Amino acid sequence: MKKALLTAVSLVALGMAPAIAADLPARTYTKAPVAVAPINNWTGFYIGAMGGYAKENTSFAPVGGGFAGGTLGYNFQSGAVVFGIETDAAWSDISATIGAPGIATLSTKFEEIGTVRGRIGYAFDQVLLYGTGGYAWANNKVTATLGPLAASDTRFLSGWTAGAGVEVMFAPKWSVKAEYLYRSIEGGTYGGGAVTLGTFNVNSVQAGINYHF
């Protein structure tokens, strides 16, 4: 009798098992989220071209004009912080003239300008916001005319610069930037002391394109 009862219970249990399993909720499996690496990394050397416009804020014979040249630099990225060093050099037409043309004039012209600067910024993936500052230089030519006569003298001038900018990686290895720089360039004496110029305080805006290695 006991054997018959156990056999009956076992058969009923086996018959109910599929029905109970069907009523249980299905187990779902979710994969752990995959860590997404930054799309862009700013570390490495870069080379580029740039150009812009500069002007001195003064009411007396303000110097002003355009410039164009090249850039070379290196960035190191740690997390979202980017450190770098950059140098640039440009041909320039930043100049000013006083006097009466054809009678007597005195002109000054930055024929070449450049900087060597440190950079520190914060990267929002492909967008880099940064501050910059360092050494600035200019090759300045002063020319005096008196009627048909003319004499000129050239001096290499040094100073400092500081500013800020934004750079955008718009394609793999390529970026564009826009930048503001304030340059304070020392004056000098020309023509054996005949002409003395004071410090040039110049505001400049420039844009550029860089290729990253």
Domains of the chain: 44-212 (2.40.160.20)
Among all chains, which residue has been given the structure tokens 């004496």? 189
pLDDT at 30: 55
- Sort strands 64-78 and 81-100 into parallel, antiparallel or unpaired: antiparallel
Reported as type and span, the H/E element at residue 35 is none
Q: Is the pLDDT of residue 203 over 80?
A: yes
For the record, the structure tokens of 83 come out as 């450190």
Residue 183's Cα: distance from chain center in Å? 17
DSSP per residue over 152-174, as a string?
EEEEEEEEEEEEEEEEEEEETTE
pLDDT in tens, 51-94: 999 998 765 678 899 999 999 999 999 999 999 999 999 999 99
Mean pLDDT over the full length of the chain = 85
pLDDT in tens, 123-163: 999 999 999 999 999 999 999 999 899 999 999 999 999 99
Reported as type and span, the H/E element at residue 13 is helix 2-23
pLDDT at 28: 54
- Alpha-carbon Rg for the chain, nearest whole angstrom, is 35
Contact of 65 with 38, CB cutoff 8 Å: no
Q: What's the rounded Cα separation, in Å, for the pair 153 and 2?
A: 124
For the record, the structure tokens of 197 come out as 């110029």
Q: Is the pLDDT of residue 24 over 60?
A: no
Q: What's the rounded Cα separation, in Å, for the pair 159 and 182?
A: 11
pLDDT over 70, % of the chain: 80
